[in-house]
Amino acid sequence: MGSHSIADKVAIVSMGCTKFGEHWDKSLDDLIVDACFQAFNEIEINKDAIDAFWLGTAQSGMSGITLARPLQISNKPVTRVENYCTSGSEALRAACYAVASGAYDIAMAVGAEKVKDSGYQGLNAFPIPGDGTQRTLTAAAMFSMVAPAYCNKYGVSLDEMSQVLAHISVKNHANGARNPRAQFQKEITPEIVLGSPRVAGTLGVFDCAGVADGAACAIVVRAQDAFQYTDKPIFIKSLSFAAGSGSGLIDPNYDYTHFPECEKAANDAYNQAGITDPRSQLMMAEVHDCFTPTELVLMEDLGFAPRGSAWKEVLGGTFDLDGELPINPDGGLKSFGHPVGASGLRMMFECWLQLRGQALESRQIVSDRKLAMTHNLGGYPGEMVSFVSIVGKELTA
Amino acid sequence: MRGIIRYSSYLPHWKLPREEIRTFFGTGGGSGTRSVAGHDEDTTTMAVEALRPLLYKTQPSNSATSQSPKSSDWHSYVGAVDDVYFSTTNPAYLDKTNASAIHCALSLDTHCGSYDLCGGLRSGIGTLKLALTSTSHNPVLVAISDIRNGLPTSSDESLGGDGACGFLIGEESDNNPVLAELLGSYSISDEFLDRWREPSSSTGKTWEERFGEFRYLEIGTQAFDFACKKFELTPDKIDRLITTGMHTRAVAAVVKKLGVGKEQIENDRSTIVGQCGSAHPAIILCAALEKAKPFETIALLHLADGADVMFFRTTKAVETYRPLKPLDIQINSLEAISYSKFLSWRSMVDLEPPKRPEPSRTSSSAAWRSRQWKYSLDASVDRKTSSVHMPPSRISYDSGSIDDMDLISKSNSRGKIATFTIDRLAYSPSPPIIFAIIDFEDGGRFPVELTDCLPEQVGIGMEVEMTFRKLGTADGINNYFWKGRLVT
């Protein structure tokens, strides 16, 4: 296999993240400036210190100019990347590879999205001229097909499934209630989830990620240079990516109870980082909980629970903040909303805080584990891209 | 011998109980029902649905229908077609030929004419006559399709109907015997104004009813009498008489004067179906042929800006062919919709759309490139592994081979629902969208919108067949594609 680890070659030395929410009073440029200057100021560097930039945004702007103009970066390599909802993670991946290759000394990954200016509900794809036969379903509808398929395969009743999905929603909102950057900072009850208006299939409003504007960023350098910038850098242990061929949409063997792209990306990431038992080795994981059934299935795809058992683990509290493996301790997409290009770096921001012991005390995970994970997906069941990263607070001896 | 080789009628899935109109407005309506085209149907898609059964290369399996014919009763037509004639008073496009979309959806050879013969309420019967009297070498396909509108509470609204029918007409051959030949026809033209509609309007207007009755009574009886004399028939020799026309009062008056017994008169089904405009006479002709015995004489009299009489004689072969879905079976399975739904489907009231962007217009060039997918529902099938790719793909998802596939149409394939969802947020002309993952019995998976059903009627494992529909319209461009429909 041609995938090689860049473990311990690159470190994140500073990060920034705006509050996520309906920023009616902030433009995309404002969000970018706010996030980036958090990161610059934290390590007291000037933007001119950065050698190369990558901006992940799905549809808030085109080209590197979308970043270069608001930051007034003159004549440097600035590139916009897009890969569905993993756009922010792709910016980080590019910046890390650039540093690992030796091409640049210091690089920056920025993810930003202005969603709330569209005037429509939910996320809406930029229309590309076509033959008119493409599906126009919402993401909620595409992911809603997972829940009944999972129930059918593993003999879970629809009532039990409602409780499982409600637990995921309640847990993520509880975590978000302990995070001043989250869009929603209120705890909710299972009754609120179950009583919310239906959006698609059995999914209600509280099964869906919110819709928010936001930006986040990371500055990366060679690992050996990291301590020049901070006492507590975090180190890249693995970066993996898998794009599906879309065959799940045409292959009758695909059963909508798992996401092969995510499983593939996770296994690659574990190999790169030398992880053999993620459930016992990871301190936490930020996963792409765009809808509650997505998080459920990911617990199995990412190797945190055997196939067909994640629903019991969810109910048992395994993935709660005080559970065996806290999932989405920052509140996840559920509490943060999903400014598409920013989400991947927002997930990394939580790893940054947790590994450095800087999360709010009410949600800081106390653990002797030293690794954290982000998982980011884009697309739909059957036709998906998936990103996984592992970061650690120490260099491997 | 030239004549009708195949025929088929198509009624949409829905009907409106006329009393709902009175409940809603306190006036209008009446008793009975009328047929109602779905929000995703227009006269083009209904014409495709009417013609499809005539061309089935193999008979679709009918495990779910007890009324299905035995396979020995079924003959498919797979020969060449010279022309496609399409007639309606309610064309989806002007200037652009609608028959070419029908031609493409039927996967017909490109070396074939396709023509719209549209406009007046007389155009349907004229098209049928043209096809029956033409000298084409190979058979022609005729589709007559209509969607009838009226202003709320008008009699056009309550008495109109939506329906279509299709015919394969040509010279007899060994495999394709003529079922009924045209003995002869007789027509009268008379310039008077009974009903009219401006091209930009979906609803028409009528003159005082009595004047039209006066004209039709004279020319209707005259045409019938002259026709009988010309073809040496007497009313008692007619086994079935079909009389149609939008002026229902005049039609009733004329029938009484023809000297034909009540038992000879074919029920026009208008109590349940309504009057399907220019398609109606030919739809009722289908109903008559469905029951006809060999060597019957069927007379058809249509009153529209004149009078047309056609005499048909069934052949020995008439009983060897029966449509897959006879008209009365379709009538019995019509499902009622509310008047409010009807009004919104007809754009008589505009409902608040979901707060989602409307789909952008279909690219003409992209649609042309993918016409075999978009219109014929052609999939590509890997020659080695038989894996099915929808839409067609150059590279196989399982074998990885390149450009080693055959195109086959899945439009007549059936499948089962693997999973499904109801999308209450996505944009649709009639929310919510019901969407299912269909796995075909003969291979392949197709994620597709379902139509002609309600959310509570859908379940995993149900059987689905394909139907040609209009997904929407943007910038005046109709986006045609296939949807799934529950097999009932």
Q: For residue range A296-319, what is the model confidence (pLDDT) as tens digits?
A: 999 999 999 999 999 999 999 999
- CA A381 to CA A261: how far, in whole Å? 9
What's the token pair of residue B29?
Answer: 């309506």
Contact list in A for residue B435 (CB cut-off 8 A) is: 135, 137, 141
Contact list in A for residue B420 (CB cut-off 8 A) is: 145, 148, 201
Q: Which domains does chain A have, with CATH numbers?
A: 10-117+212-234 (3.40.47.10), 139-203+235-392 (3.40.47.10)
Q: For residue range A251-282, what is the model confidence (pLDDT) as tens digits?
A: 999 999 999 999 999 999 999 999 999 999 99
ipTM score: 0.90
Assess contact for A42 and A262: CB atoms under 8 A.
no
Q: What pLDDT sits at residue B57?
A: 58
Per-residue DSSP letter, A20: P
Strand partners, B86: B116, B143
Of residues B75 and A373, the one with the higher pLDDT is A373
Among the listed residues B454, B353, B419, the one whose alpha carbon sits nearest the alpha carbon of residue A202 = B419
- CA B483 to CA B428: how far, in whole Å? 14
Angle CA(A76)–CA(A77)–CA(A82) in degrees, nearest 5?
A: 140
Active-site residue, from A173, A258, A338, A375 = A338
- CA A19 to CA A31: how far, in whole Å? 9
Instruction: Indicate the residue type of B128.
Output: L
Separation in Å, CA of A207 to nearest CA in chain B: 14
List all residues of chain B from 411 to 440 with a beta carbon under 8 Å from chain A. 418-427, 433, 435, 437, 439
Strand partners, B168: B6, B141
- Comparing CB atoms, the residue among B356, B363, B445 nearest residue A121 is B356
List all residues of chain A from 193 to 222 with a beta carbon under 8 Å from chain B. 198-201
Q: With an 8 Å Cβ cutoff, are B439 and A144 in contact?
A: no
Strands A10-17 and A214-222: antiparallel
**Residue B455 touches partner A, C-beta closer than 8 Å:** no
List all residues of chain B from 352 to 391 with a beta carbon under 8 Å from chain A. 354-357, 359-360, 362-363, 366-367, 369-370, 373-374, 387-391
Assess contact for B298 and B314: CB atoms under 8 A.
yes
Among the listed residues A127, A54, A140, the one whose alpha carbon sits nearest the alpha carbon of residue A97 = A54
Mean pLDDT, rounded, of chain A = 96
Q: With an 8 Å Cβ cutoff, are B433 and A141 in contact?
A: yes
Percent of chain B with pLDDT over 90: 88
- CA–CA distance from B433 to each of A134, A255, B183, B450 (Å)? 14, 21, 49, 8
Q: Which uninterrupted H or E stretch holds A286?
A: strand A282-286
- CA B208 to CA B43: how far, in whole Å? 29
Q: What is the 3-state secondary structure (H, E, C) of chain B?
A: CEEEEEEEEECCCEEEECHHHHHHHCCCCCCCEEEECCCCCCHHHHHHHHHHHHHCCCCCCCCCCCCCCCHHHCCCCCCCCCEEEEECCCCCCCCCCCHHHHHHHCCCCCCCEEEECCCCCCHHHHHHHHHHHCCCCCCEEEEEEEECCCCCCCHHHHHECEEEEEEEEEECCCCCCCCEEEEEEEEEECCCCCEECCCCCCCCEECCHHHHHHHHHHHHHHHHHHHHHHCCCCHHHCCEEEEEECCHHHHHHHHHHCCCCHHHECCCCCCCCCECHHHHHHHHHHHHHHHCCCCCEEEEEEECCEEEEEEEEECHHHHHCCCCCCHHHHHHCCEECCHHHHHHHCCCCCCCCCCCCCCCCCCHHHHHHCHHHHCCCEEEEECCCCCEECCCCCECCCCCCECCEEEEECCCCEEEEEEEEEECCCCCCCCCEEEEEEEECCCCEEEEEEECCCHHHCCCCCEEEEEEEEEEEECCEEEEEEEEEECC
In the β-sheet with B33-36, what is the strand arrangement from edge to edge? B33-36, B14-17, B335-336
Assess contact for A331 and A171: CB atoms under 8 A.
no
- Comparing CB atoms, the residue among B355, B366, B422 nearest residue A200 is B422
What's the token pair of residue B219?
Answer: 């020319």
Q: With an 8 Å Cβ cutoff, are A131 and B373 in contact?
A: yes
- Comparing CB atoms, the residue among B443, B445, B479 nearest residue A132 is B479
- CA A90 to CA A384: how far, in whole Å? 14
Mean pLDDT, rounded, of chain B = 93
Assess contact for B205 and B195: CB atoms under 8 A.
yes
What's the token pair of residue B114?
Answer: 């396709």
Among the listed residues B205, B261, B273, the one whose alpha carbon sits nearest the alpha carbon of residue B18 = B273
- CA B414 to CA A252: how far, in whole Å? 14
pLDDT at A126 > cutoff 80: no
Q: With an 8 Å Cβ cutoff, are A124 and B427 in contact?
A: no
Q: With an 8 Å Cβ cutoff, are A133 and B427 in contact?
A: no
- CA A85 to CA A139: how far, in whole Å? 12
Angle CA(A351)–CA(A55)–CA(A81) in degrees, nearest 5?
A: 105
Q: Which uninterrupted H or E stretch holds A300?
A: helix A292-301
The 3-state DSSP class for residue A46 equals coil
Q: Which uninterrupted H or E stretch holds A10?
A: strand A10-17
| Count of alpha carbons within 13 angstroms of residue A321, beta-carbon side | 23
From A117-126, A285-294, B31-40, the region with the lowest mean pLDDT? A117-126
Positive or negative torsion for Cα A257, A259, A262, A264: positive
Contact list in B for residue A136 (CB cut-off 8 A) is: 359, 426-427
Contact list in B for residue A140 (CB cut-off 8 A) is: 423, 425
- CA B5 to CA A245: how far, in whole Å? 47
**Residues near A3 by beta carbon (within 8 Å), at least 6 away in sequence:** A240, A268, A271, A272
Instruction: Indicate the residue type of A205.
Output: V
A-B Cβ pairs (cutoff 8 Å, strict): 122
Assess contact for B178 and B320: CB atoms under 8 A.
no
- CA B333 to CA B64: how far, in whole Å? 14
**Residue A140 touches partner B, C-beta closer than 8 Å:** yes
- CA–CA distance from A194 to each of A188, A211, A312, B392, B425 (Å)? 11, 20, 19, 41, 18
pLDDT at B476 > cutoff 60: yes
Calculate the dihedral angle through the C-alpha atoms of B7, B327, B115, B311, rounding to the nearest 10 degrees. 60
Q: For residue range A321-353, what is the model confidence (pLDDT) as tens digits?
A: 999 999 999 999 999 999 999 999 999 999 999
**Residue A131 touches partner B, C-beta closer than 8 Å:** yes
- Comparing CB atoms, the residue among A200, A249, A252 nearest residue B425 is A200
Contact list in B for residue A127 (CB cut-off 8 A) is: 357, 359-360
List all residues of chain A from 141 to 160 with a beta carbon under 8 Å from chain B. 141-142, 144-145, 148-149, 152
- CA B325 to CA B318: how far, in whole Å? 16
From A55-59, B277-281, B315-319, B428-432, the region with the lowest mean pLDDT? B428-432
Q: For residue range B379-392, what is the model confidence (pLDDT) as tens digits?
A: 999 999 999 999 99
Rg (CA), chain A: 20
User: What value does the mean pLDDT take over residues A142-147?
Assistant: 95
Q: Where are the domains of chain B?
A: 2-345, 364-486
A338 is catalytic: yes
pLDDT at A16 > cutoff 80: yes
Per-residue DSSP letter, A223: G
pLDDT at A95 > cutoff 70: yes
Active-site residue, from A85, A208, A217, A262 = A85
Q: For residue range B67-111, what is the model confidence (pLDDT) as tens digits?
A: 443 433 344 566 789 999 999 999 999 999 999 999 999 999 999
**Residues near A337 by beta carbon (within 8 Å), at least 6 away in sequence:** A20, A21, A115, A183, A184, A209, A210, A211, A212, A213, A214
- CA A161 to CA B363: how far, in whole Å? 42
Separation in Å, CA of A379 to nearest CA in chain B: 15
**Residue B295 touches partner A, C-beta closer than 8 Å:** no
Q: Which uninterrupted H or E stretch holds A282?
A: strand A282-286
Beta strands, E only, A36-185: 52-56, 78-81, 106-113
Instruction: Indicate the residue type of A204.
Output: G
Q: Rounded to the nearest 5°, which phi and psi values hold at A131? A: -85, 0
pLDDT at B64 > cutoff 60: no
CATH superfamily, domain at B2-345 = Thiolase/Chalcone synthase (3.40.47.10)
- CA A138 to CA A70: how far, in whole Å? 32
- CA A100 to CA B367: how far, in whole Å? 45
User: What value does the mean pLDDT take over residues B19-25?
Assistant: 97
User: What value does the mean pLDDT take over residues B263-291?
Assistant: 97
User: What value does the mean pLDDT take over residues A200-208?
Assistant: 95
Q: With an 8 Å Cβ cutoff, are A136 and B427 in contact?
A: yes
Q: What pLDDT sits at residue A1?
A: 55
Angle CA(B181)–CA(B184)–CA(B189) in degrees, nearest 5?
A: 135
Among the listed residues A364, A320, A354, the one whose alpha carbon sits nearest the alpha carbon of residue A170 = A320
- CA B423 to CA A135: how far, in whole Å? 12
Separation in Å, CA of A48 to nearest CA in chain B: 41
Contact list in A for residue B391 (CB cut-off 8 A) is: 133
Which of B369, B371, B419 is the mutation pick for testing A, counting most A CBs within 10 A?
A: B419
- CA B63 to CA A209: how far, in whole Å? 43
For A250, nearest residue in chain B (alpha carbons): B445
What's the token pair of residue A155?
Answer: 């003999």
* pLDDT band of B354, cuts 50, 70, 90: confident
- Comparing CB atoms, the residue among B355, B363, B373 nearest residue A121 is B355
The CB density around residue B2, as the number of other CB atoms within 10 Å, is 18
